[in-house]
Amino acid sequence: MRTSLAGIARIEQREGCVLHAYRDSAGVWTIGVGHSSLAGTPPLIHMGMTITHAQATAILKSDLGPREDFMNRLLTRPATQNQFDAMMSLMFNIGDSGFEGSDVLKLFNVGDLKGAASAFAHWSHPAALASRRRDEARQFLS
Protein backbone atom coordinates (compact mmCIF):
# COMPACT_ATOMS: atom_id res chain seq x y z
CA MET A 1 0.00 0.00 0.00
CA ARG A 2 1.15 3.56 -0.67
CA THR A 3 0.22 6.91 0.83
CA SER A 4 -2.60 8.51 -1.15
CA LEU A 5 -2.35 11.97 -2.66
CA ALA A 6 -4.77 13.17 0.02
CA GLY A 7 -2.57 11.57 2.68
CA ILE A 8 0.52 13.28 1.27
CA ALA A 9 -1.31 16.62 1.29
CA ARG A 10 -2.25 16.10 4.96
CA ILE A 11 1.34 15.26 5.91
CA GLU A 12 2.50 18.44 4.14
CA GLN A 13 -0.14 20.46 5.97
CA ARG A 14 0.69 18.94 9.37
CA GLU A 15 4.48 19.13 8.99
CA GLY A 16 4.66 22.38 7.08
CA CYS A 17 6.50 22.97 3.85
CA VAL A 18 9.44 25.38 3.66
CA LEU A 19 10.70 26.14 0.16
CA HIS A 20 14.09 27.52 1.23
CA ALA A 21 16.90 25.80 3.09
CA TYR A 22 16.97 26.37 6.84
CA ARG A 23 18.65 24.83 9.85
CA ASP A 24 16.27 22.76 11.97
CA SER A 25 16.31 22.73 15.78
CA ALA A 26 19.30 20.34 15.69
CA GLY A 27 21.20 22.57 13.24
CA VAL A 28 20.68 20.24 10.27
CA TRP A 29 20.07 21.83 6.86
CA THR A 30 16.47 21.07 5.93
CA ILE A 31 14.10 21.93 3.07
CA GLY A 32 10.59 21.08 1.92
CA VAL A 33 8.62 18.83 4.25
CA GLY A 34 11.30 18.10 6.84
CA HIS A 35 13.80 16.76 4.29
CA SER A 36 17.49 16.70 5.22
CA SER A 37 20.47 15.54 3.18
CA LEU A 38 20.59 12.40 5.34
CA ALA A 39 17.29 11.27 3.80
CA GLY A 40 18.61 11.19 0.22
CA THR A 41 17.90 13.22 -2.90
CA PRO A 42 18.58 16.13 -3.13
CA PRO A 43 21.82 15.09 -1.49
CA LEU A 44 23.28 18.46 -0.52
CA ILE A 45 21.03 21.03 1.06
CA HIS A 46 22.80 24.32 1.59
CA MET A 47 22.27 27.95 2.52
CA GLY A 48 20.39 29.81 -0.21
CA MET A 49 18.89 26.68 -1.76
CA THR A 50 15.26 27.00 -2.87
CA ILE A 51 12.77 24.57 -4.37
CA THR A 52 9.25 24.76 -5.74
CA HIS A 53 6.21 23.29 -4.03
CA ALA A 54 6.08 20.60 -6.74
CA GLN A 55 9.69 19.69 -5.96
CA ALA A 56 8.93 19.58 -2.22
CA THR A 57 6.04 17.18 -2.87
CA ALA A 58 8.22 14.99 -5.10
CA ILE A 59 10.93 14.88 -2.42
CA LEU A 60 8.33 13.99 0.22
CA LYS A 61 7.02 11.15 -1.96
CA SER A 62 10.58 9.88 -2.34
CA ASP A 63 11.17 10.14 1.43
CA LEU A 64 7.93 8.24 2.12
CA GLY A 65 8.83 5.28 -0.16
CA PRO A 66 11.11 3.41 2.27
CA ARG A 67 8.78 4.20 5.17
CA GLU A 68 5.81 2.82 3.22
CA ASP A 69 7.75 -0.38 2.58
CA PHE A 70 8.55 -0.60 6.30
CA MET A 71 4.92 0.08 7.26
CA ASN A 72 3.74 -2.65 4.89
CA ARG A 73 6.08 -5.13 6.62
CA LEU A 74 4.84 -4.08 10.07
CA LEU A 75 1.11 -4.40 9.36
CA THR A 76 -0.25 -7.90 9.94
CA ARG A 77 -3.77 -7.11 8.74
CA PRO A 78 -5.22 -5.06 5.88
CA ALA A 79 -5.61 -1.32 6.43
CA THR A 80 -8.02 1.09 4.78
CA GLN A 81 -6.42 3.93 2.87
CA ASN A 82 -7.27 6.41 5.65
CA GLN A 83 -5.83 4.12 8.32
CA PHE A 84 -2.63 3.70 6.34
CA ASP A 85 -2.35 7.44 5.62
CA ALA A 86 -2.93 8.37 9.28
CA MET A 87 -0.33 5.86 10.46
CA MET A 88 2.14 7.14 7.85
CA SER A 89 1.61 10.68 9.13
CA LEU A 90 2.38 9.50 12.66
CA MET A 91 5.42 7.49 11.53
CA PHE A 92 6.78 10.43 9.52
CA ASN A 93 6.61 12.56 12.67
CA ILE A 94 7.82 10.11 15.36
CA GLY A 95 10.22 8.03 13.28
CA ASP A 96 10.26 4.42 12.19
CA SER A 97 11.43 2.97 15.51
CA GLY A 98 8.91 5.04 17.49
CA PHE A 99 6.10 3.78 15.31
CA GLU A 100 7.34 0.19 15.39
CA GLY A 101 7.04 0.15 19.17
CA SER A 102 3.82 2.15 19.33
CA ASP A 103 0.50 1.10 20.79
CA VAL A 104 -1.09 2.40 17.59
CA LEU A 105 0.60 -0.39 15.64
CA LYS A 106 0.11 -3.06 18.32
CA LEU A 107 -3.60 -2.34 18.74
CA PHE A 108 -4.19 -2.05 15.00
CA ASN A 109 -2.54 -5.42 14.41
CA VAL A 110 -4.83 -7.14 16.94
CA GLY A 111 -7.91 -5.49 15.40
CA ASP A 112 -8.64 -2.96 18.16
CA LEU A 113 -9.30 0.01 15.89
CA LYS A 114 -10.83 2.26 18.55
CA GLY A 115 -7.91 1.52 20.86
CA ALA A 116 -5.44 2.21 18.05
CA ALA A 117 -7.13 5.53 17.30
CA SER A 118 -7.00 6.48 20.99
CA ALA A 119 -3.32 5.54 21.12
CA PHE A 120 -2.41 8.36 18.71
CA ALA A 121 -2.80 10.63 21.77
CA HIS A 122 0.15 8.86 23.45
CA TRP A 123 2.36 10.89 21.07
CA SER A 124 0.99 14.31 22.09
CA HIS A 125 4.17 15.63 23.70
CA PRO A 126 4.83 18.48 23.49
CA ALA A 127 1.24 19.57 24.00
CA ALA A 128 1.34 21.46 20.68
CA LEU A 129 1.00 18.05 18.97
CA ALA A 130 -2.36 17.24 20.59
CA SER A 131 -4.47 18.73 17.79
CA ARG A 132 -2.37 16.93 15.18
CA ARG A 133 -2.88 13.62 16.96
CA ARG A 134 -6.64 14.20 17.21
CA ASP A 135 -6.71 14.93 13.48
CA GLU A 136 -4.71 11.77 12.70
CA ALA A 137 -7.05 9.70 14.90
CA ARG A 138 -10.11 11.13 13.11
CA GLN A 139 -8.51 10.35 9.74
CA PHE A 140 -7.71 6.82 10.97
CA LEU A 141 -11.35 6.22 11.93
CA SER A 142 -12.89 7.79 8.80
Q: How far apart are CA 90 and CA 99, in angstroms?
A: 7
Q: How far apart are CA 27 and CA 7, in angstroms?
A: 28
Question: Could you give the residue numbers annotated as active site?
Answer: 15, 24
Q: How far apart are CA 4 and CA 142, in angstroms?
A: 14
Q: How far apart are CA 73 and CA 60, in angstroms?
A: 20
Cβ contacts of residue 86 below 8 Å, gap of 6+?
A: 7, 120, 136, 137, 139, 140
Strand partners, 23: 29
Q: How far does CA 78 lie from the centroid of its chain?
A: 19
